[in-house]
Amino acid sequence: MPTDTTSVVAAPGSRALEHPARGDIRLADVLHALADPVRMRIVRVLAAAEGELNCVDVELPVSKSTCTHHFRVLRECGVIQQNYRGTAKMNGLRRADLDALFPGLIDGVLRAAELETGRLGDA
């Protein structure tokens, strides 16, 4: 089956990072990525930002190298896009791709995470 062309295009002059094309994003990989609490937190912050954020603007209770790992996992499974703008690595949720492939899934997951935080606090 032919895959869609990726919707993630590196800006002119930026170093491009590898992203799966929309048609290569798999539900199992997305669910696996979201099953980690740190990665879920990243996704929630990016969803709330509704735009791109620098890695350092997402406060996480882990080391810088662990952060880098979690962002890479999210990029490689198609949940986020990462692009260099100068020296800054900017991150954004691939909402259009995810909503096209799995309508309602990300909204449902974000709402579930919000409700759980309301019940249990930010673990």
Contacts to a copy of itself by CB under 8 A: 1, 23, 26-29, 31-32, 34-37, 40, 101-105, 107-109, 111-113, 115-116, 119-120
- Residue 30 or residue 90: which is nearer to a copy of itself going by CB? 30
Rounded to a whole number of angstroms, the minimum distance from the CB of residue 123 to a copy of itself is 9
- Residue 37 or residue 68: which is nearer to a copy of itself going by CB? 37
Give dist(CA 120, CA 79) in Å, integer: 25
Rounded to a whole number of angstroms, the minimum distance from the CB of residue 47 to a copy of itself is 15
Rounded to a whole number of angstroms, the minimum distance from the CB of residue 108 to a copy of itself is 4
- Residue 15 or residue 119: which is nearer to a copy of itself going by CB? 119
Give dist(CA 42, CA 32) in Å, integer: 14
Find the Cα–Cα–Cα–Cα dihedral 52, 56, 59, 61, rounded to 10°.
Answer: 130
Residue type, position 83, single letter: N
Rounded to a whole number of angstroms, the minimum distance from the CB of residue 74 to a copy of itself is 14
- Residue 84 or residue 107: which is nearer to a copy of itself going by CB? 107
Give dist(CA 81, CA 90) in Å, integer: 8
Q: What values do phi and psi take at 89, rounded to 5?
A: -95, 115
Give dist(CA 109, CA 115) in Å, integer: 10
